[in-house]
Structure 1
Amino acid sequence: MKNHYKYPIFIMIISIVHLLSSCEEFLDAKPDKALVVPSTLDDLQGVMDAMNRNTNSVPHIGLVSSDDMLLSPSVLDNLSEQQQAAYTWEKEIFTPAQPYSSDWATPYQQVFLANVVLDGLKDHVPMDTDEELRARHIKGRALFMRGHAYTQLMEIFTRPYEPGGHDPLGLPLKGSSDVNKLPRRSTVPELVDRILADLREASSLLPDKAEYSTRGSKWAAESLLARFSLVLGDYEKAYGHAGNAMAIGDGLIDFSGLDPSAPYPIGELNPETIYYATLPSGRYTTSNMTYVAPELYALYGEGDFRKSVFFEPGEEDGFYSFKGSFTGGYLFFGGISTGELVLTFAEGAARTGRLEEAQDALNIFLEHRMAPGSYVPVNIADEDGLLEIILEERRKELLFRNIRWMDLRRLNREEKWSVTLTRTVNGEEIVLPPGDSRYTFPLPPEETELNGLEQNPR
């Protein structure tokens, strides 16, 4: 047998090695049997709880490419060549020395681990009703993990979604943990169907809330379905799923009670955390010369508590650094919050003609972010006027997460909301217009060259 590290074998081998290094009980004592698939419910839950194996990590390259941040030359020069190319919107982001992408490998590792759990559950026979319920919840968490991973991959490695379109370049879909089954690249409709099926089934299996926000729940699944429905342009479903999630929990932090002088004013696992995930650490996350884009900072008016809670003066005059992550530290939050959920509900309501519901949700949100008397409650009867405010609040609330790139891709479908991005690097102005092919990242060369996957046009 030829020793090719083909997709997804390369990723799966890494995953198995990682899994075995932390779960020695999965090794059989007999020398002729190196691997035993985890089968007890404790083992299966442990597979998904392995945060040190990136089970709660999301891609970062969309953030680097978005218009959230402005990198000083000293930070940019110290990024990897791949990150620099993403920041400057180069057509080629891979080099012979770096043909690998963690933004591809990490979600596929999550898909693999989810499939390990789902395969393990097939042979599990519950001893009683309590064990049956626990197995049901574990299956739901695995489906949520897999669906969540595919949504992340779709926003990086497929072309921006076109409602009603039939784009043939989706993603390889993996339905089992068998590393010998090498799937083709699906179509986008097939990918969308898989994501929706996983998340809908997860929602039907999971408890309303999880014991820990690092695990999937019905709350998280419905919130992710609402987010994904925005991507699909299905605003009725966005409204419905967001409403389902808000019925479970829609509490917001009153920013007037936060200490803006604290290094990180918003605590980890705070009450707004529906699902906890982080972007990977890097020089751009730790440097105080990673700045918020000046045009974004200018959107925050007087009386907006986020202006002091989210930002602090940077090393250079007139520039500000971000400190408002929902991780309680320097890592950027990549999960789902009730703030995002309420704004998704407001957008879904506005786009489906439910303007009063949209206004009510938006005003409740603003009451928790603005000083009393510093704003007039929104009362707009025009859909576009209301949407303009809602989209601006998404821009101001969801920065430095893994959201802005998604919003740019979907909003560029509509001329009135599309944006032309510009950067000046080393005195040269770089432009990324709406609909540009650079909104889709190339697949890692090791996947196209070794496994024959068709490359994305870039």
Structure 2
Amino acid sequence: MNLSKYLLIGLGVLSLHSCDDFLGNKPKGYTIPEKFEDYSKLLNSSYLMSSSNTVLAYLTDDLYRTSRGEIMNENAEGKLIEYTEFNFSGCDDHERNLYTFKHGQVLTAGNSDPLWNNAYENIYVYNAVANNILNVPDATKEQREAKYAEALVGRAFEYLNLVNIFGNHYDPKTAGTDYGVPILLSEVVGDGASYVRNTVAEVYDQIISDLKTATPLLPEVATNVYHPSQTIGYAFQARMFLYMGDYENALKNANEALKLNDELLDMKPYTTTYSTFGRIVLESNPDETFPEDVDNVENIFMRNLNGAGSGFYTAVVASEDLLETFKRHLAPDGVDMRLRLFFATDEANFTMNPSATPEKFKGYSTYAPYITQNAGFTTPEIYLIAAECEARIGSVSRALQLLDQLRDARIKNNVHYVEETDAPNRTEALRLVIDERRREFAMQGAPRLIDLKRLNREDWFRKDIVHSADGETWTLPANDLRYIMPIPQTVLDFNPDMPQYDR
């Protein structure tokens, strides 16, 4: 079977990632692998291990970019100098367009969208594996089925991200007509092909089908957290059903996932030191850094968060709205370690030199976790899904218990919630859960954006997002279509008849 070198929805030149490592002199990107080992290498590709992008945070209420001259510090001679690292003028065009809630396209002409391209490149590989691995002559039936299931989970994961970023949020009344994203299930792509923009309902149906097929075939224990185990089948469905508003099934799957893995990482023993990556260490042993990816017991399914680096870390300011969230429900001596560890307030030494003069930005907090963040699935998310569903349809007491378990691992001197005063009704319990979701996923982009899209439809939550810089203010009203990312123009150039949201 030959593969087209071009996927004509804006992907440009593609290949099966890392194929040249094991296909000898065969043209890269044209030949389907023939052996089980080859497919295993495809699924081990580093390209598949990353997802989403922090740039989506520019559409949320989590961050802020400063105005010119806003932060002034004294230099060694006592003169005032401007601190410019957070300035709005430092945004690239993509960030600027998102931050100002620009109508229409948010990418400048000729630029491709990494959110779209990376997802479809990964889907391309997952299709190649899913459609062929069951027919390879080597390996056992169980081994082939496990890799088949892994490819289905990977494909479903990409589609759940895509439909929630580029489509209207799922509503059973409109999902059958709301624009979703194209569903591609083949690795054979013909030149001159055109693509249908499937509905939100059709995309969800495909995700459900893939998960239903994959879950019983997944191994009980995965090779590592970059590969799915049976736990992911429940965790994935918990998130999916939450997004669909099916709280009964979301709770059922969250509880099943927690039976398999309910471990939480205690953040209280950690502190920060100088330098960039590796700046979070054990207070009792500075040589032991914060556990990441495979070493973090909270990671169920690991996907590195794209865009999380120097171009985002220390370039944005935490909004006052976000910082206020971290102050809620703390004892006088309470410390939320997510704020303490992942943000730098007033000053920081982002060098490898412990004696370097710290950068000073008094009155501001910048996002600086410098850890490998997981855009996949974690146990804290499952706690929060279960807590939200309990608050909506189950036991408020159980919802608070789940929140307290998570907060005990996050907050020094945590004081447990009291139902009678902190959550006297379901709406107040929901507020506590959503605040906790915001703290847990601060600055990660997609989680907050999707929460805004789904919760803005509820009267108790609805809010407008306001950004400002350099004397201008921009507002994104609740339920505005600009919450939906546009299909990139590079895609529309090949598919001019593809329907669009009027954003």
2:237·2:250 contact (CA, 8 Å) conserved in 1?
A: yes
SS in 1 for 2:222: coil
Counterpart mapping for 1:15-414 below 5 A: 15-16=15-16, 18-20=17-19, 23-27=20-24, 35-51=30-46, 53-72=47-66, 74-75=85-86, 76-94=88-106, 97-125=109-137, 131-165=140-174, 166-180=176-190, 182-261=194-273, 263-265=279-281, 266-269=290-293, 270-281=296-307, 285-301=311-327, 302-303=333-334, 304-314=336-346, 315-324=360-369, 329=370, 332-372=373-413, 374-379=414-419, 380-401=423-444, 402-414=446-458
One-letter amino acid matched to 1:11: L
Q: Distance in 2 between matches of 1:4 and 1:272?
A: 39
**Superposition RMSD in Å:** 2.5
CA gap of 1:411–1:47, structure 2 versus 1, over 3 A, is same
Change (3 A) 1:118 1:421: same
* Residue 287 (structure 1) shift: 4.6
Q: CA deviation at 1:206?
A: 1.0
Query: Which has the larger share of helix?
Result: 1
Matched position secondary structure for 1:208: coil
Counterpart of 1:194 in 2: which secondary structure?
helix
Q: Relative contact order, CA 8 A, sep 6+: which one is greater?
A: 2
Aligned AA (1:279) = L
Instruction: Letter of the 1:274 partner, please give it.
Output: I
Does residue 430 (structure 1) correspond to residue 438 (structure 2)? The answer is no
* Matched residue type, 1:151: L
**Structure number having the greater strand percentage:** 2
Change in 2 beyond 3 A, CA 1:139/1:203: same
Shift of 1:369: 1.8
In the TM superposition, what is the alpha-carbon distance from 1:65 to its structure 2 partner?
A: 1.5
Q: Look up the SS of the partner of 2:317 in the other structure.
A: strand
Gaps of 5+ in 1: none
Give the aligned residue type for 2:345. Answer: P
Question: Aligned partners of 1:218, 1:135: CA distance in 2, in Å?
Answer: 16
Is the 2:468–2:474 contact (alpha carbons within 8 Å) kept by the matching residues of 1? Answer: yes
- How far residue 168 of structure 1 moved from its aligned partner, in angstroms, is 3.9
- Between structure 1 and structure 2, the one with the greater Rg is 2
Contact 1:86 1:93 in 2 (8 A): no
Change (3 A) 1:360 1:212: same
Note the C-alpha offset of 1:120.
2.0
Measured in 1, the distance between the counterparts of 2:410 and 2:49 equals 31
Deviation of the 1:425 alpha carbon:
1.8
Shift of 1:5: 5.8
**TM-score (norm. length: structure 1):** 0.89
User: Is the CA contact 1:12–1:112 (under 8 Å) kept in the aligned structure 2?
Assistant: no
**How far did 1:55 drift?**
3.8
SS at match of 2:11: helix
CA distance in 1, matches of 2:302, 2:254: 18
